[in-house]
Structure 1
Amino acid sequence: MKESRTLNFDDVLENTLGGFGRWQFLLYVAGGLLLFPCKLYIPIFLGFLPRYRCKVLECDLEPKVEFHPTWAEFAIPHLDNNYLHDGLGHCQRFSSNGTSCSKFNFDEHHMVPCSQSVYDDSMMKEPMVAFFDIGPCSSNDPNWWLGSWISQMAFIEIIFWTGVMIGILVCGRMGDRYGTRVVILTSQVTFTVGAIIAFTSMTYSSYVISSLLTGFGCMGSSTSPYVLVSEVMGKNHRHYLAFYQIFRVLGGFSYAWVASVLQNWRQFWLYALCVNLAVSPIWFWLHDSPRWLLSRGQFSQARKVLDFATKINGEPRLSANDFAALQEASRQQNASNRIHERMWTNYYVLRNLVVCLFIWLSVGLMYLGLSRISVTLGGNIYENFALFEGAELIGLVLSSTVASYMDCRTLIVWSLGSGSLALVLSFLIGHPMWTLALVVLGKTWASMSLQVIYVYTPAIFPTPIRNSALGLSSTAARLGALIGAWLINSKGIPIVLSLLIFAGIGLMACTLILAFLPKIQGSALPETLQDVKNLDRDLPVLGHLSIFDEVLPSGMDFEKESLLKNALSQEELLS
């Protein structure tokens, strides 16, 4: 019996379609446009906390309430100067025995808590925190069910990141089953509904609901394009993915400018909604990855996409014999992947996933944590944010340049380790100007790590679970962001100590990468478990101890996998 010829999809990308032609560039830009508004969703300006003080009802009379009134000296305790509090007691006031704003009615020896605040509007005219009055003092409200544990503002951020993590998990699973296009459209619709609710919110509860929906929707449409673009780029051109974040960085610069002009939380949401609606329609006529279509056995649709790709790239149409060989290779891979649910119990997959989760957590902690710090350092918050975006742009250019000749694993260790050491130095030196300079440098290295890890992660998981693996990893980054936000906003933890924690976790991640994860330079995207195992080379002994295959179920013995693959392939041919 004549053996059927097979053809690797990566060979088709490089030799027939062109590794990075007009078709790949079209998908590259279409996916990148979804990243443009991503910085709008992160609670930086939307969750900006201006300087605030305790509201004294008998003195703060409408319609004009001043942040620095003359009576503050006898009604509010004076604290040490601090950027947020500006030297005025923030959640306490002197008790009063009357209803008039007179010095003789206040007892300077007895203080009482307050649950309402007055906010300084010199930096932002209408912050969301002031509209709902949900600053830190709101935890003193007897009607707030979480009490002093979590403020109402912090609760909104927790709900947002919870929605992000749920969205990534669900969208990753959906992407593996239904394709990237369905995930993107679903996420865009969900975000649009949430943004409309946020823009029209008049109550705190409705805004909380909108935070959950927008969190769910925004990240599903920002992670899925990475998988799609990584699957259509040739293995010799995959380093271009490191420059993919340019769309997110440009969106960040625009956000800083728009926020400085609008200075109104409701108009921020209107801007985000308009940008989202502007970039969504392109995905109604774009298609899924042909690699994914082949892995799902949708050969006729894959053929149409490949014909479209060769036409756009100006290349000859894939011959019938070559497509038949591609189909045969896909059938054999699909026979192995029929049991892809059990792939998660394979040692190599599970090892890569566990280490990736910790790496993504450390990168998210450092990257998003430093983004939050940018608006708490004092001075002009818009200029600070733009400065940090400039640091990210430098990191982006460096990562895209170096990634063309350095393996992604090495680059992640180099950038994440350098960023961690910069933060350690900021802790040791302690001088404000040096701290700012080293924190900006740390943001540069952290952005490099983020760019490269998006390229690296899809390259160490097989096609049937690639969306889910990237989704789980990205969820860990958002968990890191949540931890970072808590550390930065905690009154009992100094900023410099938070930076030291960021650095310690980053250095731990570097050690795990070197010990357990493989290099990928010049490797094709893995399609099966055997492909994932074959990535292992030049690893320390701990990286591929055979004893783990005995202790941990492999999901499928590779020899048995090969036999079943051939049997199912023959069965499909006979049927």
Structure 2
Amino acid sequence: VFQWNLVCDRATLKTISTSIYFLGVFFGSVMAGVLSDKFGRVFILRVASVVSAIIIALNGISPNVYVFYLLQFLTGVVCMGTIMSSVVYAIEIAKEKHRLLAGIFCNVMFGVGCALFSVIAYFIRDWRNIEFAVALLFVPCILDAFIMVESPRWLYGRNRTDEAKESCKRIARMNGVNHRILRYLSKPKSSEESHNSLTEIFVRPYSRFLICSVMFIWAVTSLVYYGLILNGGSLAGDIFWNNALGGLVEVFADITFYFMVLKVGVRNLVATTLFIASFSCIASTVVAQTGSALLNNLIFAMIGRFGTSGSFAMIFVQCPQLFPTSGRTTALGLSSMAARIGSILSPFTIQVQEDIPWLSPVIFGILAFFAASLALTFPRTSGKPLTMNFDEAEKCSYGLTIRSHPILPSY
């Protein structure tokens, strides 16, 4: 702030940084998804990890605020490559019974990263040194990315069967298991679909319905989630304690819903979490109109945050399983882009609340209710084989059964 004289008439410049970063995330979400589906999960992960480390390090030597803005935008674009590729990769190489654990574990790591960043910022107060420290954290990620083998599912879906076999053999050797099942691996049936995953998602009727529905759910979840966080200052009690309590609520939600998802499935749990958020938002409005204590609003706000944080965790696991391998990362990128729209709109709902206190919670509640109802229309994914291409995905919409592709060693 003082280094670049971001005070008085230049004070607004310091608030733009986060918005520019999220703008980069907005564009990077789609770019990372399309590129990962075209060039491979591991290839994009390697490139994005190296470039992210370089850009973040350059951030630490920014000569002025405008160069800093540019690098913040590029950071948002490139970092989405590491996030999208790694999440989809983890789900694709996991066995059917372990996919939920793989997806939820990735979501938990986001929280661990936030906590680790807080520790770094506590001990390193100079922002330039913080940038250098974060860049160094990418070194083990880069080394790990160059050890990883390409996703066998992606290779198989691109008709690169021999390479898929080699990837499976390396995975089998690292796990110390037999890979004799690979002799049954045959070339996939030819498909008429193009290699443009973005086009295929919107051309195919069932995939178009799914992506529009998923994007709506992601946008609503993000809108309600960030709306509740930004509204923390108007709740009863100390704002810092409220924020800390909200963080603990999210950790509790992740742990709770992990055990629940094994019993009720992802689809039902996504709907349940959104119904919880809807109820809490509407209930907080009713309580406020009856003149009850502000403490009740705090309780309902935390219940809403419990629901939306659980919804975020579940939809992050569900989305990659709804779409075929040839368009999985693109779908996740489009969904993340929709979530950014929700987060961008959330501050305006708080501004509306200053004039009409009951309006924002009612909007949150109604949108969450519709999103929950829409989630119930999705197919069940728990324990089901992942589809390889859009032809198989369309067959699933008619209730047809697809065969499980034996592209991973059975153990």
TM-score of the two chains, using structure 1 as the length reference:
0.62
The question of whether the paired residues in 1 share the 8 Å contact of 2:230 and 2:347 is answered with yes
Matching residue of 1:466? 328
Matching residue of 2:207? 349
Deviation string 1:146-168 (CA, Å, 9 cap, x unpaired) is xxxxx434433332111001111
Offset, 1:134: 4.7
More helix by share: 2
Matching residue of 1:390? 248
CA distance in 2, matches of 1:529, 1:293: 16
SS in 1 for 2:97: coil
Larger radius of gyration between Structure 1 and Structure 2: 1
CA distance in 2, matches of 1:245, 1:304: 29
Matching residue of 2:106? 244
Structure 1, unmatched stretches of 5+, are: 1-127, 142-150, 539-557, 559-575
Offset, 1:179: 0.7
CA distance in 2, matches of 1:489, 1:265: 30
The question of whether the paired residues in 1 share the 8 Å contact of 2:236 and 2:295 is answered with no
Identity of aligned residues (%): 23
Matching residue of 2:286? 428
Offset, 1:491: 8.9
Matching residue of 1:163? 24
> Cα 1:440–1:177, aligned 2, differ >3 Å: closer, same or farther?
same
The question of whether the paired residues in 2 share the 8 Å contact of 1:307 and 1:318 is answered with no
Matching residue of 1:418? 276
CA distance in 1, matches of 2:240, 2:141: 25
> Cα 1:211–1:376, aligned 2, differ >3 Å: closer, same or farther?
farther
Aligned positions, number: 393
**Which 10-residue stretch deviates more, 213-222 or 265-274?**
265-274
The question of whether the paired residues in 1 share the 8 Å contact of 2:220 and 2:368 is answered with yes
Matching residue of 1:73? none
> Cα 1:206–1:412, aligned 2, differ >3 Å: closer, same or farther?
same
The question of whether the paired residues in 2 share the 8 Å contact of 1:256 and 1:385 is answered with no
* Of 158, 176, 186, the match for 1:327: 186
> Cα 1:421–1:466, aligned 2, differ >3 Å: closer, same or farther?
same
Identify the structure with bigger relative contact order (alpha carbons < 8 Å, sequence gap 6+).
2
After TM superposition, list the pairs within 5 Å mapping 1:259-278 onto structure 2. Answer: 259-262=121-124, 264-278=126-140
Aligned partner of 2:50: which letter?
V
CA distance in 2, matches of 1:307, 1:172: 27
> Cα 1:260–1:444, aligned 2, differ >3 Å: closer, same or farther?
farther
Matching residue of 1:298? 160
RMSD (Å), alpha carbons: 3.0
**Which 10-residue stretch deviates more, 423-432 or 446-455?**
423-432
SS in 2 for 1:327: coil
After TM superposition, list the pairs within 5 Å mapping 1:185-224 onto structure 2. Answer: 185-224=46-85
SS in 1 for 2:134: helix
Offset, 1:231: 1.0
SS in 2 for 1:405: helix
Matching residue of 2:257? 399
The question of whether the paired residues in 2 share the 8 Å contact of 1:132 and 1:204 is answered with yes
Offset, 1:458: 1.3
**Which 10-residue stretch deviates more, 175-184 or 199-208?**
199-208
CA distance in 1, matches of 2:139, 2:236: 34
The question of whether the paired residues in 2 share the 8 Å contact of 1:194 and 1:214 is answered with yes
Offset, 1:448: 1.1
The question of whether the paired residues in 1 share the 8 Å contact of 2:236 and 2:294 is answered with no
The question of whether the paired residues in 2 share the 8 Å contact of 1:180 and 1:228 is answered with yes
> Cα 1:265–1:483, aligned 2, differ >3 Å: closer, same or farther?
farther
CA distance in 2, matches of 1:473, 1:493: 32
Deviation string 1:367-419 (CA, Å, 9 cap, x unpaired) is 34444455786977665444322111111112211111212111101001102
Offset, 1:497: 4.6
CA distance in 2, matches of 1:156, 1:491: 25
CA distance in 1, matches of 2:244, 2:115: 6
* Of 80, 89, 112, the match for 1:228: 89
Offset, 1:197: 3.5
* Of 308, 314, 318, the match for 1:446: 308
Matching residue of 2:394? 533
Deviation string 1:394-446 (CA, Å, 9 cap, x unpaired) is 11112211111212111101001102221222333344332233222222211
Offset, 1:357: 0.8
> Cα 1:389–1:219, aligned 2, differ >3 Å: closer, same or farther?
farther
Matching residue of 2:408? none
* Of 343, 365, 368, the match for 1:506: 368
